[in-house]
């Protein structure tokens, strides 16, 4: 029976396996459950991290999360999140927010090969930090702006308004 299973797996299209693996990883990163959240943070809302603190923590931990030096992938982020005991409560909240807004942050700059952005690059991080620290935007605001921006180009919303 096991040999038959291996044979069947051999016929499954590689792209289908990658897609299934991608969906599983996305589901892991969706954070719909509270598993893995440090005890003192269980009741905290995921959005309760100051933008400047988020930017500072991301800058501080970027190389720690990006283990191969080519940008933070979803796999690397999932690996970091699987070790909550190695991060402070604020750092783990930063990881959760990074997971929640991964696709938005990865698309900050057009600095990757054709197709979808698959990693958060150093340039993506630097642009994000500028928006968070100097334009007064929030992660949710950036996400909304980029979602609208996919349909119509326009400047970012003013931090004064």
User: What is the share, in percent, of the chain residues with pLDDT greater than 70?
Assistant: 58
pLDDT digits (tens, 9 = 90+) for 60-70: 999 999 999 99
Give residue 16's pLDDT.
52
* 3-class state of residue 120 by DSSP: strand
Give residue 118's pLDDT.
84
Give residue 7's pLDDT.
47
Reply yes or no on whether the pLDDT at 122 is more than 70. Answer: yes
Burial class (CB in 10 A: 0-12, 13-18, 19+), 98: buried
The H or E element spanning position 80 is: helix 74-81
Reply yes or no on whether the pLDDT at 150 is more than 70. Answer: no
Structure tokens at 88: 């402070």
């Amino acid at each position: 029976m096991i040999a038959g299973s291996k044979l069947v797996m051999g016929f499954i299209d590689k792209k289908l396996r990658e897609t299934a693996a991608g969906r599983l990883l996305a589901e892991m990163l969706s954070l719909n459950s509270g598993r893995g959240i440090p005890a003192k943070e269980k009741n905290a809302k995921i959005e309760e991290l100051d933008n400047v603190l988020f930017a500072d923590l991301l800058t501080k931990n970027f190389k720690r999360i990006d283990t191969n030096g080519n940008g933070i992938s979803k796999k690397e982020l999932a690996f970091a999140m699987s070790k909550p005991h190695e991060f402070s409560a604020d750092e783990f909240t930063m990881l959760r927010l990074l997971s929640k807004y991964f696709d938005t942050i990865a698309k900050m700059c057009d600095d990757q090969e054709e197709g979808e952005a698959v990693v958060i690059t150093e340039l993506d991080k630097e642009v994000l930090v500028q928006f968070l620290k100097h334009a007064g935007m929030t992660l949710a605001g950036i996400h909304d702006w980029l979602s609208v921006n996919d349909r119509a180009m326009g400047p970012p919303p003013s931090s004064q308004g």
